[in-house]
């Protein structure tokens, strides 16, 4: 066989390798040249009769051809592997431009945001936060608050009574957060019993009690369930002036408006004397100039102080009850209270 025969052998190997479409085809093609009875192997065997010199040059030439065939084989193997990998990548392709599946993001209800704000502001003024039951007894909701048996607020018309309840057991949905005045004060007095018995001054009661309240009422500005936040400050020397300072401070901070004006308008509540409704007036914005009622308030009635377990000759203070729902409406310019409780996500998501 001459040199160009070796060249054409290499060429035919390259062609056959190129035609091999799969690794198996390629291994078969390889066997035809490099296998036990392949053509290169046969050439090697054919050298047996040659002289030493001829073996040397012939062997070298066959080796060059063998190496060329092996190189072609390796290149084709690599090419087939690359092609397979490309196929696989294509089949398992991830479209990273596809938007991810998101879970809806939750957020706080606007009234909850207001309650947090209220707690923060009163917290900074040294008020504790208390929570109490929404199903109350006659005693805490009415009687202890100096509200007589025949008070109209007790009528079926205004109050949700619980079926099977008795005046001694919880029997109604609280109509305001004022029962928390008594509940919290009684606990406070119990905690400081020893000091009181020794005639020592008791630490002041300074607390707010936010929560849900219920009345038989339903229109654009009233909901059968609504929120209130009670405030109570009792000490030996707490005056109506303190109420004015504290509540004015609160409102100006809450509405972020230093020129907000407050008006304490004489009113009546069985559990305060004197009593006042608190109105606020914005100096600018869409509500400028209008008086808006935000709370009931007053100096705690001596009978109520007594029901707290304290001597009304020594302890005195003020209480207020405000409407966080109303404050939320004013702060965000919402005109229908029912929007807060319909659960419409399109409305609620605007507060996030
Ligand atoms: N509880 C009263 C109401 O619901 C508000 C109030 C609270 C008034 C505390 C005076 C003192 O209208």
| pLDDT at residue 104 in the model | 79
What are the distances in angstroms from CA 271 to CA 143, 144, 280, 324?
10, 9, 23, 21
Give me the CATH code for the 110-351 domain, please.
3.30.930.10
Ligand 1 atom nearest to CA at 213? 4
Residue whose CA is at the smallest distance from ligand 1 atom 4: 176
Q: Which residues of the chain have pLDDT under 50?
A: 1
Q: Is the CB of 300 under 6 A from ligand 1?
A: no
DSSP 237: S
Q: Tell me which H or E stretch contains 106.
A: none
Q: Is the CB of 174 under 6 A from ligand 1?
A: no
Among residues 315, 267, 262, the alpha carbon closest in space to that of 291 is found at: 262
Among residues 220, 271, 236, 231, the alpha carbon closest in space to that of 254 is found at: 231
Separation of CA 265 and ligand 1 centre (Å) = 14
Ligand 1 atom nearest to CA at 177? 1
What are the distances in angstroms from CA 314 to CA 133, 206, 310?
29, 16, 8
Q: Is the CB of 317 under 6 A from ligand 1?
A: no
Ligand 1 atom nearest to CA at 231? 9
Q: Is the CB of 141 under 6 A from ligand 1?
A: no
Distance CA 119, CA 146 (A): 27
Do the Cβ atoms of 280 and 304 come closer than 8 Å?
no
Residue whose CA is at the smallest distance from ligand 1 atom 9: 320
**In testing the pocket of ligand 1, which one of 271, 277, 308, 325 has its CB within 8 Å of the most ligand atoms?**
271
Separation of CA 320 and ligand 1 centre (Å) = 6
Separation of CA 286 and ligand 1 centre (Å) = 28
Q: Is the CB of 296 under 6 A from ligand 1?
A: yes
Separation of CA 110 and ligand 1 centre (Å) = 23
| pLDDT at residue 166 in the model | 76
- DSSP letters for 144-179: GGT--TT-GGGSTTT--BPTT--SSS--EE-SSSTH
Q: Is the CB of 321 under 6 A from ligand 1?
A: yes
Alpha-helical runs (H) found in 163-289:
179-191, 193-197, 240-254
| pLDDT at residue 3 in the model | 53
Do the Cβ atoms of 115 and 210 come closer than 8 Å?
yes
Beta bridge pairs of residue 206 = 233
Ligand 1 atom nearest to CA at 295? 5
Ligand 1 atom nearest to CA at 145? 1
Residue-range domain boundaries for the chain: 3-91, 110-351
| pLDDT at residue 102 in the model | 83
Distance CA 76, CA 27 (A): 11
Q: Is the CB of 323 under 6 A from ligand 1?
A: no
Q: pLDDT (tens digit, 9 = 90+) per residue, 238-252?
A: 999 999 999 999 999
Separation of CA 229 and ligand 1 centre (Å) = 9
Do the Cβ atoms of 207 and 129 come closer than 8 Å?
yes
Q: Is the CB of 320 under 6 A from ligand 1?
A: yes
Q: Is the CB of 176 under 6 A from ligand 1?
A: yes
| pLDDT at residue 2 in the model | 53
Q: Is the CB of 147 under 6 A from ligand 1?
A: no
Omega prior to 135 cis, within 30 of 0: no
Distance of CA 344 to the CA centre of its chain: 17
Distance CA 122, CA 136 (A): 25
């Amino acid at each position: 066989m001459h040199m160009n025969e070796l060249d054409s052998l290499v060429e035919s190997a390259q062609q056959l390798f190129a035609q091999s479409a799969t690794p198996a085809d390629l291994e078969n093609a390889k066997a035809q040249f490099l296998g036990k009875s392949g053509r290169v192997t046969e050439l090697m065997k054919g050298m047996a009769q040659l002289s030493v010199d001829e073996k040397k040059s012939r062997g070298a030439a066959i080796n060059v051809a063998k190496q060329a065939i092996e190189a072609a084989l390796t290149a084709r193997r690599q090419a087939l592997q690359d092609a397979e990998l490309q196929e696989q990548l294509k089949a398992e392709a991830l479209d990273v431009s596809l938007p991810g599946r998101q879970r809806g993001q939750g957020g706080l209800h606007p009234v909850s945001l207001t309650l947090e704000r209220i707690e923060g502001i009163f917290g900074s003024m040294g008020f504790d936060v208390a929570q109490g039951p929404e199903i109350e007894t006659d005693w805490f909701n009415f009687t202890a608050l100096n509200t007589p048996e025949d008070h109209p607020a007790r009528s079926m018309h205004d109050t949700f009574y619980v079926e099977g309840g008795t005046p001694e057991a919880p029997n109604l949905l609280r109509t305001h957060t004022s029962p928390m005045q008594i509940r919290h004060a009684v606990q406070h007095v119990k905690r400081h019993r020893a000091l009181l018995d020794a005639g020592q001054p008791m630490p002041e009661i300074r607390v707010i009690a936010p929560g849900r309240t219920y009345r038989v009422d339903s229109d654009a500005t009233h909901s059968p369930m609504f929120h209130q936040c009670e405030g109570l400050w009792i000490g030996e020397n707490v005056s109506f002036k303190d109420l004015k300072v504290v509540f004015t401070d609160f409102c100006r901070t809450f509405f972020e408006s230093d020129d907000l004006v407050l008006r304490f308008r004489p009113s009546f509540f069985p559990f305060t004397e004197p009593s006042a409704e608190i109105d606020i007036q914005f100096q600018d914005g869409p509500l400028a100039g209008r008086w808006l009622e935000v709370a009931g308030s007053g100096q705690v009635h001596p009978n109520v102080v007594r029901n707290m377990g304290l001597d009304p000759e020594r302890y005195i203070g003020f209480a207020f009850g405000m409407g966080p729902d109303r404050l939320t409406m004013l702060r965000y310019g919402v005109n229908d209270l029912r929007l807060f409780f319909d659960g419409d996500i399109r409305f609620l998501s605007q507060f996030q």
